[in-house]
Amino acid sequence: MTDISNREIADRLYDYAELLDVEDADTFRIRAYRNAALTILNSQESFAQKVSRGDDLVSLPTIGDDIARKIETIVQTGELPELEALRLSLPPVQAGLLKVEGIGPKRYRQIEKKLGVLTPDTLVEAASRGVIERLPGIGAKTQAAILKHFSGHRPGSSGV
C-alpha cells in the first residue's frame, strides 16, 4: 500500500480521462473518469484509507466497478498501468503538446485539423508565423505557451 493523497489519485484518473478524450473514446466513459476524480477531490476522507479498510468504493457516487478497481490499483501501487499504456501509445509530439498549458484534447484536435500531421517542426513554424493564434478560440496566449514549451526544440530534431 502506498501513502497516496486524494489529489494524486484524482490526478491520475483525470489524466486518464484526458488521454481517452484525445483517443476520441466514448464521452460517457470520459465523463465517468472526470466525475470520479471530482468525487475523490471533494472527499473529506482519504481514499487510501478507504481502500486499506476494504470499503466498498462502488457504493460512492460516480464510482463504478471498473473505476473502483483502478483506484485500488493506484492506492496499492501508486500507478495506473492503463494510463501509462495510453501515454506510450501517443505520438511524442501529441504527448508533448498536451503538456502545454491551455492545450487539452479538443484544442489539440483543432490544431491538428488545421495543420495536418503535427511534428515539433510544423508546430513551432506555425506558432512562429502566427498561425496558431488565428485559429478560432485559441489566441496569442496559447501560441506563446507553445513557443515557450518548444523553445529548446531545434528544427529537424525529434525531441519535444
The reply to whether the predicted model has a pTM over 0.85 is no
Going from N- to C-terminal start, the domains of the chain cover 6-88, 90-149
DSSP state letter for 102:
T
pLDDT of residue 154 exceeding 60: no
- Span 44-58, mean pLDDT? 95
Non-local (6+) Cβ contacts of 127 within 8 A are 143, 146, 147, 150
Give yes or no on whether 6-88 and 90-149 have one common fold.
Answer: yes
* pLDDT number for residue 93: 63
Q: How many whole angstroms separate alpha carbon 27 and alpha carbon 21?
A: 8
Q: What is the mean pLDDT of residues 50-78?
A: 95
CATH class as words, domain 90-149 = mainly alpha
Q: How far is CA 105 from CA 60, 111, 120, 124, in A?
A: 28, 10, 17, 19
User: What is the CATH topology of the domain spanning 6-88?
Assistant: DNA polymerase; domain 1 (1.10.150)
